[in-house]
Chain A
Amino acid sequence: FLGAGGGNDIQWCFSQVKGAVDDDVAEADIISTVEFNHSGELLATGDKGGRVVIFQQEQENKTQSHSRGEYNVYSTFQSHEPEFDYLKSLEIEEKINKIRWLPQKNAAQFLLSTNDKTIKLWKISERDKRPEGYNLKEEDGRYRDPTTVTTLRVPVFRPMDLMVEASPRRIFANAHTYHINSISINSDYETYLSADDLRINLWHLEITDRSFNIVDIKPANMEELTEVITAAEFHPNSCSTFVYSSSKGTIRLCDMRASALCDRHSKLFEEPEDPSNRSFFSEIISSISDVKFSHSGRYMMTRDYLSVKIWDLNMENRPVETYQVHEYLRSKLCSLYENDCIFDKFECCWNGSDRQVDIVMTGSYNNFFRMFDRNTKRDITLEASRENNKPRTVLKPRKVCASGKRKKDEISVDSLDFNKKILHTAWHPKENIIAVATTNNLYIFQDKMN
């Protein structure tokens, strides 16, 4: 998988990069979420400033078979604004924590976006014609003097330049005391869940004034709090099943048919810990930052600080595979604790529905990102950098030298830039196109065709 080609190995090439070039990053520009829609035609990003930018893939030009369509800006809007909770004297950040697309039902596109407290359903629709020929109004909107109207005409629709409009259709507010970390749309396409540190709520997409609490792990006495919910997701096929992960590295699978309040799990996934390896950092680095079901729903993937684990839903006592993302950081945990990097929340994703490959991807530091091929058991490290800017040139694999003599082209652990973190990545649902977010830039890579 070292970019050498052959067989089904994917050769990744730079395609596009979006965002400012300068190093001085405004906080609002920090990308906080990236998500393809179900067809892959649209790619949404959310940022710390509460803004959503949606890119649309160009229709493929039949004569240009050497690359797939480029992504260009389709729509951009302010999803969330900063708010102030007067009761608690706390600011509510406008940062978009997650975006999830609804499957397309009609001409318009819908997505859910959430900050720490409020989820919003946005409708993105196209307008490419407008009515002209009113009797009482001029084309510029001014009212005509009625006494000058001597004939009547029927207004007609005429084509206009495409306008893409985003409007908030539902606001799901006031249901979360703690900070929302996840939203997940159910396979019934009618309901969705939202999860905060201690509770998970079930919503109906049409109803904003009511929400069912389905998980509540808040202890009666807060002094007894030992773990928090870190992520949650609905099963892709079973509409009564969902999972949630915790800061202690466990995943609980719940079935909503069992009871209204799913405080008792149906399955508990936990890898036994080696007690001789336990340290102050063990619990912190075992905290799961992301959980994602495989497309089939048979497996799920979790990301903790140092690794990616694949779990078979039929086996609770250990993962079936574990991939080390950056094991060389285990001997740097003290510094990473002091500079807070140990709390960074990396996401992970599966490749799209291409059955020929079974690959998982996640980010790391120094703008590196990693892919693990479950079939070949090989892995690769690539870098999102403007220096690799030539389209159709295969990206060069990177290697980190953990200790000892550094080979040429390797980078030593101490030279890694821990401010350059790739927390968010997304894989096109059907093609080998990936979107990788650095702090404030969005990179799009494609596999080399022919």
Chain B
Amino acid sequence: MAAPLGTGAFTEETGQEKQDTQEKEGGIPPERAEEAKLKGGGPNLGQKPGGSDFLMKRLQKGRGGFDSGDYNMAKAKMKNKQLPSAGPDKNLGGGDHIPTPQDLPQRGGSLVTSKLAG
């Protein structure tokens, strides 16, 4: 039984790939080759693709987000520092940057008529 992906059982799967080479032209099936590229280059994936973390991220898709806890922590840190200049920051609410009204993405900009109707 193949062990779950990304848990270091890669060698087991390579064994299976070698079996496949007899059937497939040019060696490893394309999907497996792509998988090898992904594991070779990037950070440890660690999770099953269908695993809950992956799906949870999908469920929570949403722009912006404000965490009052983060905000107050950052404010406390900033007490003795100079506030960073407010440039556009996509990562709102997280990290040290305290969002200001100027940072928020323009909302209601679509009150302009659609160009399809132009």
Contacts and interface: CB of A to CB of B under 8 A. Distances in A.
Interface of A: 18-20, 26, 28-29, 31, 45, 47-51, 53, 73, 76, 78, 81-82, 89-94, 178-179, 197-198, 222-228, 247-248, 276-277, 279-284, 330-334, 337-338, 440-442
Given A19-B115, A279-B35, A281-B35, 18 more contacts: A19-B118, A26-B109, A28-B112, A29-B114, A29-B116, A89-B67, A90-B62, A225-B52, A280-B5, A280-B6, A280-B45, A280-B49, A281-B34, A282-B49, A283-B50, A333-B34, A334-B38, A441-B116
B29 A277 contact: yes
A222 B37 contact: no
B118 A225 contact: no
A224 B52 contact: yes
Contact of B37 (A45, A81, A90, A334): A334
Interface in B1-49: 5-6, 16, 19-20, 29-35, 37-39, 42, 45, 49
Most central of A93, A222, A332, A333 by chain B CB within 10 Å: A333
Contacts of B77: none
Interface of B: 5-6, 16, 19-20, 29-35, 37-39, 42, 45, 49-52, 55-56, 58-68, 93, 107-118
A91 B93 CA distance: 13
Given A82-B108, A179-B61, A228 B31 contact: no
Nearest to A92: B62
Contacts of A226: 50-52, 55
11 contacts: A28-B114, A49-B109, A50-B110, A73-B117, A89-B67, A92-B62, A197-B59, A226-B51, A247-B50, A284-B49, A331-B30
A284 B61 CA distance: 17
Nearest to A82: B107
A53 B38 CA distance: 42
| In the complex, the 3 A-B pairs of residues with the closest C-beta atoms, listed nearest first | A49-B110, A279-B31, A331-B30
Given A49-B109, A90-B64, A279-B34, A222 B116 contact: no
A445 B116 CA distance: 16
Contacts of B49: 280-284
Given A89-B65, A90-B65, A225-B52, A28 B109 contact: yes
Contacts of A50: 110
Contact of B108 (A81, A227, A283, A332): A81
Contacts of A49: 109-110, 114
